[in-house]
Amino acid sequence: MSPVPRIPGGERASGWDRPADLEKDPALIPDLASTNVPDELRRQVEDLMSRYPDRHSAAIPALHAAQELHGWCSPEAIEQVAAVMQVTPAYLDSVASFYDMLENHPVGKHSVYVCTNISCSLRGADALLEAVVAAAGDDAEFNVRAFECLGACDIAPMASVDGVYVGPLELSDVPQLLEDTRSGRPVLPAKQLATKLVADPNANSQQFPQHAIEEGSR
Amino acid sequence: MSEMLLFKDIDQPGLNTLSVYEARGGYASLRKALAMTPADVLAELEASGLRGRGGAGFQMGKKVSFLPKGAMDKYLVCNADESEPGTFKDRELMQKNPHVLIEGIVIASYAAGAERSFIYIRGEYVHQADIIDAALAEAREAGFVGERILGSEHTLSLHVHRGAGAYICGEETGLLDSLEGKRGNPRLKPPFPANQGLYQGPTLINNVETLSTVPSIIEMGGGEYAELGVQTSTGTKLVSVSGHVQRPGNYEIELGIPSRELIYDLAGGPLPGHEIKCWFPGGSSSPVLTPADLDVPYDFDSMAKAGSMLGSGAIIVVDDSTPIVDLALKVAKFYRHESCGKCTPCREGTNWTVKMLERIDNGEATPMDLDIMASVQDHIIGNCLCVLGDAMAMPIGSLIAKFREEFEAHIEAARARGELALAGANGGGPHPGVSYESAQALGEELR
Amino acid sequence: MPRPEPKTITFTIDGREVQAPENAMLVDAAKHGDVEIPVFCYEPKLGNPVGACRMCLVEIEGIGKLQTGCSTPVKDGMVVNTQSERVKEAQRSVVEFLLINHPLDCPVCDKGGECPLQDISFGWGGGISRFIEPKRHFVKPLELSPTIAIDRERCILCYRCVRFSQEISEDYQLVLLERGAHSFVSTFDGHPYVAPFSGNIIELCPVGALTSRSYRFRARPWDIEDAGTVCTLCPAQCNVKLTVRDERVMRVLSREHSEVDDGWLCDHGRFAYPALAEGVGQRVPVGADPTIEVLSGAGDGHGAPARALVEPAPAAEQAIAAPVLAAPAANPHGVHVGMRVREPLLRDGGELRPVTWERALSEAGVALKRAGANSAALAGGGTTNEEGLLLARLLREGLGSPHVDSRASSSLALELARELAEPSLQAKVSDLEFAHAVLLLDCEPLRDAPILDLRLRKGVRRHGLKLERVSGDDLDALREAATRLHDEAGEELVIVWGERFVAGADGAARARALLELAQALSLGESDGAGLLEIPATANGRGLREAGVLPDAAPGLRPAGDDGLGTRAIAEALAAGRLSALYLLQTDPLQEGDPFQAAAEETPWAEALERASTVVAQTTLLTAGVHEHANVVFPAESYAEKEGTVTHPDGRVQRVRQAVARAGSTRAGWQVLAELAEQVGFDSGVRNEREASQELFNAVPFYGEMTLEELGGRGARWQERDHASAFATTATSGRQVGADSGGADDGGHTDASQQPTAEPDTFSGAEVEQHAAGGEPDADPAAAAEHAASEDLASGRSGSESSGDGTPGEHGSTGKEGE
């Protein structure tokens, strides 16, 4: 195939230039019996389907589960889910490619989403992202991504490391962040959102009546 | 000091557990509601005047009343896909007080006659979803959720559904499609979800904060709740304040207090040595306001009157250190990224706007481009399938209108920089122009 | 299930009061006032509107925002404005947005000239673009499937193609990937989009993004003519529009008919034509899909498209795996298997070689005459009613042989066939959509009449139709299923049965069981209920009604002398009791031919081997004909043919000539009439109109039909007044056409009337007289029209077709030429 002439500023999405391979068979609903689906994944997907009046609703959680197992929504992963859900792989591919958290390409196993939306970028998120990208370098363990608003502007600039929100992050936190993640330790424990109190001074959160705590713990 | 409803005891350790929640009086409202008829519960909700806290500000009681009566599969969906930039109040509630949400859902489902319910939570909120799942398990165990709740006739199944990262799923019909396992494309309205929603059944969709308020309304009575706030914006509201303020965070206020009080007294005002340049009163989709608007009361109608909107209740403060073009580009890029691509003006309009802003930033624009950009925003507003297109066009339009001079100065400065660079590269010769061939050659290099 | 019955309301559009059906979408309602609202994504065939393209924005009084006309139902008193500055600005802006990433490569685009995007840009666009950023560029075109090319630069993301795949054919192979401005149409992981109805997306695409690989760059819209006709490759008889350039059919498009095909075509019907017209041996330029190069049967092409989607019965799977002929080797005369027959062939010295028509006709005539009453004939494929009628007459009246049949497998006695064809029992195509339940009995729509598969899916999807399959081998199961469906789903039950249900030795018992079941469930009494037989051959129903049966005269009347049916003919030939066989568009030895498919235990090989004379009239030279025929006459492809066919539900439809006949091919009716002359019988037919007239005269329940009445839409005979003639002719003897044509058909109840044929009544002279209006009983208006039409020959080279009241006039781009 001859290369496509590109002009500066032109853009392409992956897949736009991909023709169908006419040697392949059409991608119909895979036969469950002849598709090699790991038992655990099959059990998970079947359990998910049972939660909804319509099994299709399980598509996103099922793809999540397959991504956990395969690292990304690979064609193989999609075919496995399609076989259990009895839908065409195209249906799932269409869903998977719509959502930011479902990966369409192989990625590192640790995801670091750096929020670069307005509130975070007002507080230095772009520099933070650069620092994380630079520090992670070519490490194939990491999947560093700029992400849209993660809903934690109170700890801007912040990042979600394998689902754990940390912030506000200084550039100097970056090496520790990556090191903690690599070694499987809790990431930056002091900066985790889970430990943070509500900002509202009127919430009186520190003067909670002691007796209620005692009752609660009984 | 305003009344605390949602944030009462919010930081109490263990509030996310059933024992602590019950100890502070949790689930009493549910018992009270189940002793009433569904119609009476609905009457209280209507009397409260509670307006949806998700962004549109539609009266919740009215929304419930739109659901058709009679025996059929009805659904209640809690919209926990909080993704409007600048908004993080639902996250706080779910993480710290999941039971108040569950209690609110059970009461609302009782009023609406819904027997199946889902909490659609954005996929990024892993921690929060885990907390709700744990709380749900406790609530099921204790009989607050499930078959014949507390011995009443009311039955409710409730599941947490985790999304996978798409802003558009916060739009109620996009959320429904996503919950049905499809791409989160918004649907054409009508039919409205109240008639044909999830799985084509009548569906009530409410935001986390709205549903979390329901137990308080039942506890204090709709009439008393309506005393809080101002006439058409009743009650208290969580406001997320972020950006260039000293104490970013969530604050619970009675609606109608001056915005200045919120930004300065509660959030500490701008960072030392800086002035506020503009602020988004209701998330990044709301048209920006300027310091001149700081005394506008923070409620639905006053914000609308000031030319903006309360939206999800998220104030983003931008100070004088930020170039407006950068801000506009950030906003536009976000909406381009999140446009689902279904309808033309949004898909193409967001894309075009970003390209124009990039050109402005690169010094390849003229002030005339501002007119085109403003006109493109006009062509998006009101012509799209859902409000995402408007969500970009309104703030961008307002930025151009209110900061045109700064845009023009930016264009001039960027052009000057560009010409200087070219002059340097060409030894001061004439402007070489950019031919297609040279551009292509550059492209080949970049490949 | 109740059909929608819209009431008419009045609304105002652009200041004028217009009447329209209530709740029609504004886009459609506006057409009642001659107002066009532009659309891209709206296509009612695809189901509910999606409102994605935003092209149809209109202003409605009392509503603040502009509304999409495609999704707003019209109400009484509504005031709509499509001409205000606000609407125009919105329309201009949508066109501008759409063209942002469209390459505007119209000069080299295959859609140019017939492109809705071009038309709408011209009609509603602003004429200028303010977009000066770089456009997207990528590789184009790309293969999407063996038959379809995709150009993603041109795509405007209207969702039509993916909606078709997901909601109409329900194969869900074609989807949108990615999000927002990066969205693109694709399949999963580079798999090709191969599905039985995939070609429809080409027609749905409002831009040049999806193009037919076989049609790309073959013609510009101003080079071509459209010719409406009916596809006779299977019993579904879809209405098609042929694109003709330089006397060649370049592509096949749908000519929407809601009572036949609902506006869809199967891939076989859409792409197989070149193979039929050109034969194999030359590569057909449609890509690598073997299903498209299929040669199945003598011009019948009755192999179903690529793959069954749901529950394909194993037998269906096998039939679907269509045969592909190996590269043929030609004899010294250039004759080879698979070739298109373009001139008469005669076996000489063991080999077929081209001869003149005179020679071929006389050789065939002599041989048939010699065999006389020991002759037999089979008609299959796309044989028209007229050809069938003439074939039956050639045999019965010319050769004195009643051994003529058109049924590939069944051999039901006339009495049962009549009962099964009882008008009140007949379901029609649209019943398949609205019935409460449909039971498929020994019938796989995807194989037997593919387009009905889509109709059934539509019924299931939109109207909650209950669909079940049952095998005819277990009559108890059949009764149980039918009764259960009738009791549970509703009284409107349609049983769709394949001809093979009554094929076996117990066919009669099965037919009786089916009739009893229909009686017990009162299927004849409810409007939406009934039986629908899918014959094995494309025009099975029409040929039977035209009298191509061993025991029936035209109109399913008793013939008096019972001849041998298909299987008995084979056996008699093999045993030497018969000596000559005429094969009209069929080859019982050709894999894929219905006569072959249904003849596992029939000794066709021996029969053809032993027959002293085999005369074949065929489009393509099939193996059996190549091996055994003494004389081969070229037959027209359906695009070259003029005549009528009858749909399985009784709709008589016109097949119209679109291109010149190949080589020296003569019209089918003409060959049969000339052959009749050779054996000393004057059929009285001198042109195709007379052939049709003979048919309408001969079949009482086609009474007083005219080609003009049939027009482009056809007419279901059960819905015409003359349907009553069906009942009254049950016991009548053989009648001849001229009599029943002129007089009131209801009067023909006398069984003693004219027991034998009377050749004189078919004399050319009388027909001439008829045409001139001299026949006292003739309808003067029809006769005048008839006479006028003789002068209205359309003038297309090589064509003898006349040009009045016909489907899709040449050169017209309308869907129909009524």
Q: Which residues contact B193 (CB under 8 A, 6 or more apart)?
A: B172, B173, B176, B202, B203, B204, B205
Q: Which of C49, C131, C157 sits opposite B341 (nearest CB)?
A: C157
Mean pLDDT value of segment C127-141: 88
Mean pLDDT value of segment C602-617: 94
d(Cα C545, Cα C421) in Å, to the nearest integer? 10
Query: What residues are paired with C558 via a beta bridge?
Result: C552
Interface test with A, best of C163, C189, C193, C210 (most A CBs within 10 A): C189
Which chains share 3+ C-beta pairs under 8 angstroms with B? A, C
Q: What is the pLDDT along chain A (218 residues), one digit of tens a residue?
A: 444 444 344 455 667 888 899 999 999 999 999 999 999 999 999 999 999 999 999 999 999 999 999 999 999 999 999 999 999 999 999 999 999 999 999 999 999 999 999 999 999 999 999 999 999 999 999 999 999 999 999 999 999 999 999 999 999 999 999 999 999 999 999 999 999 999 888 775 554 444 444 444 43
Nearest to A94 by CA among C618, B252, C162, B294: C162
Predicted pLDDT at B9 = 87
Predicted pLDDT at C519 = 95
Mean pLDDT value of segment C181-206: 95
Asked whether the beta carbons of residue B2 and residue A200 sit closer than 8 angstroms, the reply is: no
User: What are the tens digits of pLDDT across the range C633-674?
Assistant: 999 999 999 999 999 999 999 999 999 999 999 999 999 999
Binning pLDDT at 50, 70 and 90, where does residue C731 land?
Answer: low
Which residues in chain A are closer than 8 Å to B96, comparing Cβ atoms? Answer: 198
- Judged by a CB distance cut-off of 8 A, whether residue C156 touches chain B is yes
Asked whether the CA dihedral C329, C330, C335, C340 is positive or negative, the reply is: positive
Binning pLDDT at 50, 70 and 90, where does residue C597 land?
Answer: confident
The whole-angstrom distance between C412's CA and the closest CA on chain B is 49
Which chains share 3+ C-beta pairs under 8 angstroms with A? B, C
> Has residue B325 got a pLDDT over 90?
yes
User: What are the tens digits of pLDDT across the range B9-23?
Assistant: 899 889 999 999 999
User: What are the tens digits of pLDDT across the range C780-812?
Assistant: 444 444 444 443 333 333 334 443 444 434 444
Binning pLDDT at 50, 70 and 90, where does residue C752 land?
Answer: very low
Count of alpha carbons within 13 angstroms of residue A106, beta-carbon side: 3
Mean pLDDT value of segment C224-251: 95
Q: Which of A8, A20, A78 sits opposite C187 (nearest CB)?
A: A20
Q: Is the peptide bond before B287 cis (omega within 30 degrees of 0)?
A: no
Asked whether the beta carbons of residue C54 and residue B355 sit closer than 8 angstroms, the reply is: no
Count of alpha carbons within 13 angstroms of residue B401, beta-carbon side: 15
Question: Hey, what are C443's tokens?
Answer: 């019938």
Asked whether the CA dihedral C455, C459, C462, C467 is positive or negative, the reply is: negative
**In which element (H, E) is residue C468 found?**
strand C466-470
Asked whether the beta carbons of residue A152 and residue B164 sit closer than 8 angstroms, the reply is: no
Tokens 């190069």 belong to C293
Binning pLDDT at 50, 70 and 90, where does residue B429 land?
Answer: very low
> Has residue C369 got a pLDDT over 60?
yes
Binning pLDDT at 50, 70 and 90, where does residue B444 land?
Answer: low
d(Cα C23, Cα C401) in Å, to the nearest integer? 60
Mean pLDDT value of segment B92-98: 96
- Judged by a CB distance cut-off of 8 A, whether residue A93 touches chain C is yes
Question: Hey, what are A59's tokens?
Answer: 């598509």
- Judged by a CB distance cut-off of 8 A, whether residue C137 touches chain B is no
Tokens 């393209």 belong to C53
Q: Which of B348, B356, B383 sits opposite C101 (nearest CB)?
A: B348
Which residues in chain C are closer than 8 Å to A78, comparing Cβ atoms? Answer: 188-189
- Judged by a CB distance cut-off of 8 A, whether residue B379 touches chain C is yes
d(Cα C504, Cα C802) in Å, to the nearest integer? 44
Which residues in chain C are closer than 8 Å to A4, comparing Cβ atoms? Answer: 137-139
Beta-sheet pairing, B236-243 with B249-254: antiparallel
Count of alpha carbons within 13 angstroms of residue C385, beta-carbon side: 32
Mean pLDDT of chain B: 93
Pinpoint the alpha helices (H) of chain A.
39-50, 59-70, 75-85, 89-96, 118-122, 125-136, 174-183, 210-217
Query: What residues are paired with C584 via a beta bridge?
Result: C379, C617
Share of chain B above pLDDT 70, in %: 94
Predicted pLDDT at B135 = 98
The whole-angstrom distance between C337's CA and the closest CA on chain B is 51
Predicted TM-score of the model (pTM)? 0.88
d(Cα C277, Cα C620) in Å, to the nearest integer? 8
Binning pLDDT at 50, 70 and 90, where does residue C136 land?
Answer: confident
Interface test with B, best of C57, C133, C163, C176 (most B CBs within 10 A): C133
**HEC profile of C716-742:** EHHHCHHHHHHHHCCCCCCCCHHHHHH
The whole-angstrom distance between B379's CA and the closest CA on chain A is 24
Share of chain C above pLDDT 90, in %: 74
DSSP state of A197: P
Q: Is the peptide bond before C196 cis (omega within 30 degrees of 0)?
A: no
d(Cα A95, Cα A135) in Å, to the nearest integer? 33
Cα distances (Å, whole numbers) of residue C333 to B321, C54, C347, C348: 91, 62, 11, 11
Q: Chain C residue with minimal CA distance to B191?
A: C71
Mean pLDDT value of segment C365-381: 96
d(Cα C321, Cα A24) in Å, to the nearest integer? 17
8 A C-beta contact, residue C208 and residue C216? no
Q: SS3 for C83? A: coil
8 A C-beta contact, residue C578 and residue C403? yes
Which residue type is seen at C353?
R
d(Cα C531, Cα C525) in Å, to the nearest integer? 12
Query: What residues are paired with C349 via a beta bridge?
Result: none
Which residue type is seen at C131?
F
ipTM value for the complex:
0.92
- Judged by a CB distance cut-off of 8 A, whether residue B389 touches chain C is no
Q: Which of A101, A163, A202 sits opposite B2 (nearest CB)?
A: A202
Q: Chain C residue with minimal CA distance to A75?
A: C189
> Has residue C759 got a pLDDT over 80?
no
User: What are the tens digits of pLDDT across the range C281-321?
Assistant: 533 333 333 333 333 333 333 333 333 323 333 333 333 33
Query: What residues are paired with B146 via a beta bridge?
Result: B156
Count of alpha carbons within 13 angstroms of residue C382, beta-carbon side: 35
Tokens 């993603």 belong to C152
d(Cα B418, Cα B359) in Å, to the nearest integer? 12
> Has residue C72 got a pLDDT over 50?
yes
Question: Hey, what are C556's tokens?
Answer: 């399913």
Predicted pLDDT at C730 = 61
Tokens 């019955």 belong to C5
Binning pLDDT at 50, 70 and 90, where does residue B162 land?
Answer: very high
d(Cα A54, Cα A82) in Å, to the nearest integer? 15
User: What are the tens digits of pLDDT across the range C513-566?
Assistant: 999 999 999 999 988 999 999 999 999 999 999 999 999 999 999 988 889 999
Mean pLDDT of chain C: 85
Q: Which residues contact C526 (CB under 8 A, 6 or more apart)?
A: C491, C492
Nearest to C794 by CA among C662, C683, C659, C672: C659
Q: Which of B126, B242, B447 sits opposite A153 (nearest CB)?
A: B242
Q: Measured in whole angstroms, how far is the alpha carbon of residue A197 from the centre of its chain?
A: 26
> Has residue B179 got a pLDDT over 90?
yes
d(Cα C58, Cα B2) in Å, to the nearest integer? 48
Asked whether the beta carbons of residue A18 and residue C190 sit closer than 8 angstroms, the reply is: yes
Which residues in chain A are closer than 8 Å to C173, comparing Cβ atoms? Answer: 26-28, 88, 90
Angle at C813 between CA C808 and CA C818, to 5 degrees: 35
Predicted pLDDT at C787 = 41
Asked whether the CA dihedral B248, B249, B250, B254 is positive or negative, the reply is: negative
Which residues in chain A are closer than 8 Å to B316, comparing Cβ atoms? Answer: 118-119, 122, 153
d(Cα A46, Cα B57) in Å, to the nearest integer? 38
Asked whether the beta carbons of residue C181 and residue B336 sit closer than 8 angstroms, the reply is: yes
Angle at C528 between CA C525 and CA C529, to 5 degrees: 60
> Has residue B222 got a pLDDT over 70?
yes
Pinpoint the alpha helices (H) of C503-614.
507-520, 540-545, 566-574, 594-597, 604-610
